[in-house]
Amino acid sequence: MLTRRFFLVVGALFGLRAIVPLNVLASEPMIYSNSATGIAINGFDPVAYFTDGKPVEGMAEFSAQWKEATWHFSSKENRAVFLATPEKYAPQYGGYCAFAMSYDAFATTVPEAWSIEDGKLYLNFSKGVRGDWLRDKQEHIISANDNWAAKF
């Protein structure tokens, strides 16, 4: 069981607003997006992680709506690929930090902290956190999947 002390320590490390226990934010949206713009995963193209092997910033002219968020893509082709099978390309846990989700918490993500495992995209809070995620990713995936399923 995670304790209040855990969240205070993690909050101090990541910034108090960066990570929050799931039960505190019961109304957190299913997709991580900029609260002011509603643009998912910081405006980066989720398909490009698979096709280009790196984060690529999307453009408003190639946008689409999915799960109450606006997604940006780097090309109309990537938009079409995503819309044909969004679950295949959308990041796990709605684009929230996969490592934090494994500890039953939401955290923001940065485009550069990513990995693909078994054909699924995982985003993390930072490159340092991604390192923690990768050290025991199978265990973290099991925990994160359980936590996410309990919430959504």
Domain extents in the chain: 4-151
At 2 the pLDDT is 47
Mean pLDDT of 54-63: 98
CB atoms within 10 A of CB 70: 18
Residue whose pair of structure tokens reads 């930090």 in the numeric block: 97
Q: What is the pLDDT of residue 97?
A: 98
> Tens of pLDDT along 129-145?
999 999 999 999 999 99
In 3D space, the residue among 133, 59, 60 whose CA is nearest the CA of residue 96 turns out to be: 133
Whether residue 11 has pLDDT greater than 70 = no
- What share of the chain has pLDDT > 90, as a percent? 76
In residues, how long is the chain? Answer: 152
